[in-house]
Amino acid sequence: METTKLRSHIGADGILQIQTPTDLKDTAVEVVVVIQPLPDAKVSISEEAQVQYNSWGKPTTKKSISNAIAKMEQLRREVALDKTTIRSMIEERRRS
C-alpha cells in the first residue's frame, strides 16, 4: 500500500483534477480521496479572479453593472421616439 499526501486547487468549474505518478502499472487499484479545505490557503494572483475596471478606472462589480444597465434603460425610455415621429422627421429631411 502506498500513501501520498498532496495539495491541489479546485478551479472555478468545481472539478478537482489529480495526477500523480506511481510505480504501479496496468493494475486495478482502490483510491481514497479526502477533500479538506485549507483555512490559510493562499491563492496565486493568476488563479484568483482578476479585478476588471471600467473606463473611469473604477472596479466593476455586479452592482455597478446593474446600475449602468438600469441607467441605460432609463435613458432609452426618456429619449425614445415613436415610429410616427421618426417617419415625419425623415419626410421633413426629404423635403429640404
37, three cell numbers = 479545505
pTM of this prediction? 0.34
Mean pLDDT, consecutive 10-residue segments, the chain of 96 residues?
Answer: 78 83 86 82 55 78 85 85 80 82
Domain presence at residue 54 = no
Buried/exposed code over 61-83 (b: 16+ C-beta within 10 A; e: otherwise): eeeeeeeeeeeeeeeeeeeeeee
Judge whether 83 lies within some domain: yes
Number of domains observed in the structure of the chain? 1
* 12, part of any domain: no
Q: Which of 49, 58, 67, 47 is nearest to 7 (CA)?
A: 47
Three-class SS state of 91: helix
Domain membership flag for residue 84: yes
Residue 68 structural domain: 62-95
Residue 80 lies in a domain: yes
pLDDT for the residue numbered 44: 54
Does residue 85 lie in a domain region?
yes
Tell me, yes or no, whether 24 lies in a domain.
no
Whole-number pLDDT of residue 47:
46
In-domain check, residue 79: yes
